[in-house]
Amino acid sequence: MIIKSPQTRQEFFDYYDLRWRILRAPWNQPKGSEQDELEGQAIHIIAVEEDKVVGCGRAHFNSDEEAQIRYMAVENHLRGKGIGKMILDELEKKVIEKGAKKIILHARESVVKFYEKNGYRIVKPSHTLFGVIPHYLMKKTI
Ligand SMILES: CC(C)(COP(=O)(O)OP(=O)(O)OC[C@H]1O[C@@H](n2cnc3c(N)ncnc32)[C@H](O)[C@@H]1OP(=O)(O)O)[C@@H](O)C(=O)NCCC(=O)NCCS
């Protein structure tokens, strides 16, 4: 398993496709809905196995000291093997190198425990995505 930033056009294509398939398609969201206006300035990490992008995550800065993680996803059949943690660790390493003092994220209810195991704590309930997926604002202080 290789943990890296996407570089080639194909890697970026596969990365956004994975995001769409896991985080958007099950709720009938169109292609393109897996991206936002911060892609150009964000830190992107992918997990690659046998030339296939099987996991991903992204980080951006909300201020000099506050980073935010978004779009964490691992292929269904490869979950629970530590890939998500490897991606999260790499994103954290990179934002800390750039001066982050705290990291926030909005976690789907179903993955709150994953983030708790990685040192994040619930701050408060946040939005409900697509009217059906409750989220929690979580924070980790470095
Ligand atoms: C969240 C996600 C990226 C985690 O990836 P993963 O590769 O399965 O996670 P890991 O194998 O690195 O898990 C690390 C630890 O968290 C636990 N964990 C992972 N997902 C969990 C979940 N949904 N509920 C409870 N515990 C979970 C693992 O059991 C493991 O615990 P351990 O260290 O005691 O063995 C993955 O489940 C996923 O893609 N989910 C669907 C998309 C999604 O909801 N993304 C988050 C949007 S906010």
pLDDT in tens, 12-68: 999 999 999 999 999 999 999 999 999 999 999 999 999 999 999 999 999 999 999
Q: What are phi and psi of 100, to 5 degrees?
A: -65, 135
Any idea which residue has 């009938």 for tokens? 28
Q: Is the pLDDT of residue 82 over 90?
A: yes
- For ligand 1, which residues put their CB under 6 angstroms from it? 22-23, 72-74, 79-85, 107-108, 110-111, 113-114, 117
Q: Which residues have CB under 8 Å from 90's CB, separation 6+?
A: 3, 45
Helix (H, G, I), strand (E, B) or coil at 19: helix
pTM of the model: 0.97
* Structure confidence at residue 131 (pLDDT): 85
* Structure confidence at residue 129 (pLDDT): 86
Sheet (strand 52-61) strand order: 2-4, 43-49, 52-61, 66-74, 102-108, 133-141, 121-129
Domain map (residue ranges) of the chain: 2-141
Q: What CATH number does domain 2-141 carry, 3.40.190.10, 3.40.630.30, 3.90.950.10, 3.10.180.10? A: 3.40.630.30
pLDDT band at residue 130, thresholds of 50, 70 and 90? Answer: confident
* Structure confidence at residue 34 (pLDDT): 98
Ligand 1: which residue has its CA nearest to atom 37? 79
Substitution candidate for ligand 1 out of 19, 110, 111 with most atoms within 8 A of CB: 111
Ligand 1 nearest atom to the CA of residue 105, by list position: 48
